[in-house]
């Protein structure tokens, strides 16, 4: 809705007509069917194919499918298979390290958290990849995303003395690979692997 061009009423009218009522429903039908199929498959796996579970399953699938698809309202997105293959080992490695660090901090009575809020300028383009990155930040060592801002992301860091920038730069690159996107040129970590 934000993309309407206010000083060109012709375009605005066309878009309004295109996205209204029946038209929109019909245009959305293939995507809607795909969502119903995927969600029904998930339900089927989770319930082990139990017939009586569909009493709840059918309404749940239909309601979920009618909502806008995941990763915010940022429009279309696609994933790259090569990007996924590069992303998964990095994710598993950082998640293990993150869990281990927080476990040691929790269990060792001599250690204490020393948190700080920092801003991290994102180089990913606005949209689904940023939302994905914000979620990912919660699963890697020492970082918790608190707010997406216009320029980047606000992050709660568990131990102020440990630099998280390098990890975030590498992860951002992996997320860009995953979504088949280019990173904007920026000050941090252009030469990172």
Residues that bind another protein (CB under 8 A): 42, 45-46, 48-49, 95-96, 98-99, 101-103, 105-107, 112-117, 134-136, 138-142, 144-147, 156, 158
β-pair type (143-148, 152-157): antiparallel
Of 16 and 42, which CB lies nearer to another protein in the complex structure? Answer: 42
Q: Please report how close the Cβ of residue 104 comes to another protein at its closest, in angstroms.
A: 8
User: Rg of the Cα trace of the chain?
Assistant: 21
Of 109 and 193, which CB lies nearer to another protein in the complex structure? Answer: 109
Q: Please report how close the Cβ of residue 70 comes to another protein at its closest, in angstroms.
A: 8
- For residue 111, CA distances in Å to 107, 108, 135, 164, 168 come to 8, 6, 27, 19, 24
Q: Where are the alpha helices (DSSP H) in the chain?
A: 9-18, 21-47, 54-66, 81-107, 128-137, 165-178
Of 13 and 104, which CB lies nearer to another protein in the complex structure? Answer: 104
Of 128 and 142, which CB lies nearer to another protein in the complex structure? Answer: 142
Q: Please report how close the Cβ of residue 45 comes to another protein at its closest, in angstroms.
A: 5
3-state secondary structure of 87: helix
At 68, phi and psi to the nearest 5? Answer: -65, 145
Q: Please report how close the Cβ of residue 19 comes to another protein at its closest, in angstroms.
A: 27
Of 36 and 102, which CB lies nearer to another protein in the complex structure? Answer: 102
Q: Is 49 left (phi over 0), alpha (psi -120 to 50) or beta?
A: left
Q: Please report how close the Cβ of residue 99 comes to another protein at its closest, in angstroms.
A: 4
CB 187 within 8 A of CB 151: no
């Amino acid at each position: 809705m934000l993309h309407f061009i206010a000083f060109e009423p012709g375009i605005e009218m066309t878009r309004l007509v295109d996205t209204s009522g029946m038209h929109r429903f019909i245009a959305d039908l293939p995507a809607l069917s795909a969502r119903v199929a995927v969600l029904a498959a998930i339900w089927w796996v989770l319930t082990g194919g139990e017939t009586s579970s569909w009493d709840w399953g059918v309404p749940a699938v239909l309601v979920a499918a009618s909502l806008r698809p995941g990763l915010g309202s940022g429009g279309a997105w696609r994933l790259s298979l090569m990007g996924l293959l590069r992303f998964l080992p990095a994710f598993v490695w950082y998640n293990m390290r993150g869990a281990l660090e927080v476990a040691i901090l929790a269990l060792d009575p001599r250690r204490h958290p020393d948190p700080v809020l920092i801003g991290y300028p994102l180089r990913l383009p606005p949209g689904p990849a940023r939302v994905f990155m914000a979620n990912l930040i919660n699963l890697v060592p020492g970082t918790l995303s608190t707010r997406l801002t216009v320029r980047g992301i606000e992050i709660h860091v568990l131990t102020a003395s440990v630099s998280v920038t390098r990890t975030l730069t590498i992860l951002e690159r992996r997320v860009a690979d995953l979504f088949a996107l280019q990173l904007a040129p920026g000050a941090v970590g252009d030469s990172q692997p």
